[in-house]
Amino acid sequence: MKKNELNQFTAVLQPIDGWYTALTRGEKRQLIVTDAKYAAHFTFRAQDEGAVYYRLEDLKEQSALLGNARKGPQENDLTVLGHAIFQFELKKVKNLSDTHLTSQFPNGKHWTRELLWLAGLSTWGQKAKVYNVLLRLNDKGRPSLSRSKSSIHVNNRDNQPYVEVIWYRDRGDRSQCNLNEIIAKVVKINKFEKLDST
């Protein structure tokens, strides 16, 4: 995302404060994604002229859209707009079924398409690649004796419309996962779609 596109996004969508974070190149933020079953701590550094990350639940809650954050269709947990669009869905389950994922990523794309339209950035959105990332949180039973508290493993299965990333971390560990590391690994796999595709 170019700096003028970032400025346009923030100028138009500023009235609903607090649901997104805008960064310029080199800025770094820590973020926490929470759910009833987990809390995940991340760091993110803007690699492009401009970047935005948001949770659609926060938008619905801040704007009182649909009444509250949990009403309406389910969508992905975190979206990052940078040189591309990255949709993250976090799951903390052992046996995962694709049932919810088949609607969560398309619903997230729909919201992102509408937000970019509101900001006058439809053209940017049409050119951008959309990467769907399932981030599975896998808590290990007992703390590791190694210095590295957590590790990231990428699975790419041809039959899935997303890239699966497994974050192995010690149970109770509050270490932070670097989103830039995940994004770099996902981009190398090159499994993406366009914003206008269903």
pLDDT tens per residue, range 2-29: 999 999 888 888 766 678 999 999 999 9
Q: How many domains does the chain have?
A: 1
| Residue 92 CB partners (closer than 8 Å, separation 6+) | 35, 37, 38, 136, 137, 138, 139
Query: Where in the sequence is the domain holding 157, given as residue range(s)?
Result: 3-194
Cβ(115)–Cβ(107) below 8 Å: no
Report d(CA 165, CA 149) in Å as an integer: 17
For the beta carbon of residue 167, count every other beta carbon within 10 angstroms.
Answer: 20
What pLDDT was estimated at residue 141? Answer: 55
- Please list the helix, strand and coil fractions of the chain in percent, rounded to the nearest 5, in that order: 25, 35, 40
Task: State yes or no: pLDDT of 124 exceeds 80.
Answer: yes
